[in-house]
Structure 1
Amino acid sequence: MSVFFVTGALLVVTSAISAVSNIVELFTDSATRVFAEFAGTAAQAPIGPDGATVTVELDSAYLLADQLPLASVVALVLEQAVVVAAVATVVTSLLLVMWSILRGRVFGRRNTTLIGTAATAGFAGVALAPFFGNMGANGAFAAISGGDFDNVVLSANLAQLFGIAFLGALGTTVFMVGDRMQRDTEGLV
């Protein structure tokens, strides 16, 4: 169990360091690097024989924009904040549940609430981070193309969203039923 506590703490610290690094890069570099997804966009890449250009279809790339609109900068900062908040909330909630279990208290309203909180934070993080990232990418597209290139692609990993929702609902239900069974059977043994 101590491995989970250390790993969880490292995960929170690593995500915070990465977010701070990305935000600092956003404000200090001359060309801001923004992740963008493309929808059926053809491009030329020097991957043919002797470096000849070949037509490829872009799925994703990093855009280098000299200047981003303020709304895009705010969206990219919010993306990093959402990631850190989601990771910290999920890890802290689950570690508190583990701590409670180690102390002999498995079922109870507190653990049920913590499981629900972890699921909600995970779901919100997986849904909101790509949303804010897409807002930043749209600003980069507009800055680079002068508004001529329209490539609005918003994607969220539906498998992750479904998995988090399913596991969150399952975990919350298990802890609610366990809490109810524990209250109903108190004093019987």
Structure 2
Amino acid sequence: MQATITTPGPFVKRADAVSLWLFIAAGAAIAVWVAWSAVARIIDVLPNHDVAVLAVFAGTPAEAPIGPDGAPVAVALEEAWLTVPELPIAALWAIVIQQVLLVATVVTVVTALIWLSRNLARGVAFSRTNTALVATAGIVGLLGYVAVPFFGNMAANGGFAAISDRTFDNVIMSVDPFTLVLAAFVVAMMSTVFSIGERLQRDTEGLV
């Protein structure tokens, strides 16, 4: 008697496939928008004249006109945009590097997720390629999460130095360590899940 092996059909329903392709389109749009915004930001700061820099404060006392008839009220300043007449060269290049890293991070992550979504839409769930895509998106995303604000802080500190003639010390790292650890845990878990799924599928196929 000759055994007949039936190949299973795709596990993705039509509605799920449509959702995945919409996700792909949204990811591509996000990557294009981030790239365009980064280029615009670089063009805006390169003349090095009245440069706007996002600065993070540690509850610095300030006054805001939010009282009756616009009366000043004491507030704790956490974040503000500084307009710096001229940034130090190091701070200026920090902004350029920040934007380049932002684009590289977003494009890499979006490309990996688009590729992954395309594979899933075609019925390929667990494979070495998908495992590598998940790991790549996660690791690059984590590195970008740290590196992008790091260079932003460098630019902000240069802005503080230029405005205060180096008399105001406000060196702050704006990365939330709890969020970073949580994101790293999620990335590790997803990579492990895809790796285990890949191994189980390979072992199952070996039994057929």
Does residue 160 of structure 1 match 2:154?
Answer: no
Does residue 49 of structure 1 match 2:75?
Answer: no
Task: Structure 2 unaligned segments of length 5 or more: list them.
Answer: 1-19
Aligned counterpart, 2:7: none
**CA shift for structure 1 position 141:** 0.1
Aligned counterpart, 1:103: 122
Match of 2:138, as an amino acid? A
Aligned counterpart, 2:204: 185
Normalising by structure 2, what TM-score?
Answer: 0.86
Aligned counterpart, 1:80: 99
Match of 1:95, as an amino acid? I
**CA shift for structure 1 position 40:** 2.5
Normalising by structure 1, what TM-score?
Answer: 0.94
Match of 1:33, as an amino acid? A
The DSSP-based 3-state class of the residue aligned with 2:183 is: helix
Task: Structure 1 unaligned segments of length 5 or more: list them.
Answer: none
Aligned mates of 1:67, 1:78 — CA distance in 2: 18
Aligned mates of 2:148, 2:23 — CA distance in 1: 25
Contact 1:90 1:118 in 2 (8 A): yes
The DSSP-based 3-state class of the residue aligned with 2:100 is: helix
Aligned mates of 2:178, 2:118 — CA distance in 1: 29
Q: Which moved more, 1:166-175 or 1:40-49?
A: 40-49
After the TM superposition, which residues 119-134 of structure 1 pair with which residues of structure 2 at under 5 Å, given as runs?
Answer: 119-134=138-153
Aligned mates of 1:108, 1:9 — CA distance in 2: 23
1:24-48 Cα offsets, whole Å, 9 max, x none, are 1212473100000111311122222
User: Which aligned segments of 4 or more residues in structure 1 are displaced greater than 3 angstroms?
Assistant: none
1:117-159 Cα offsets, whole Å, 9 max, x none, are 0001110111111100000000000000000111111120234
Aligned mates of 2:163, 2:100 — CA distance in 1: 25
Aligned counterpart, 1:16: 35
Contact 1:126 1:160 in 2 (8 A): no
Match of 1:124, as an amino acid? L
Aligned mates of 2:48, 2:97 — CA distance in 1: 19
Aligned counterpart, 2:17: none
The number of residue pairs the alignment matches comes to 189
Does residue 173 of structure 1 match 2:192?
Answer: yes
The DSSP-based 3-state class of the residue aligned with 1:186 is: helix
Q: Which moved more, 1:20-29 or 1:150-159?
A: 20-29
Aligned mates of 1:104, 1:89 — CA distance in 2: 23
The DSSP-based 3-state class of the residue aligned with 2:46 is: helix
After the TM superposition, which residues 56-95 of structure 1 pair with which residues of structure 2 at under 5 Å, given as runs?
Answer: 56-95=75-114
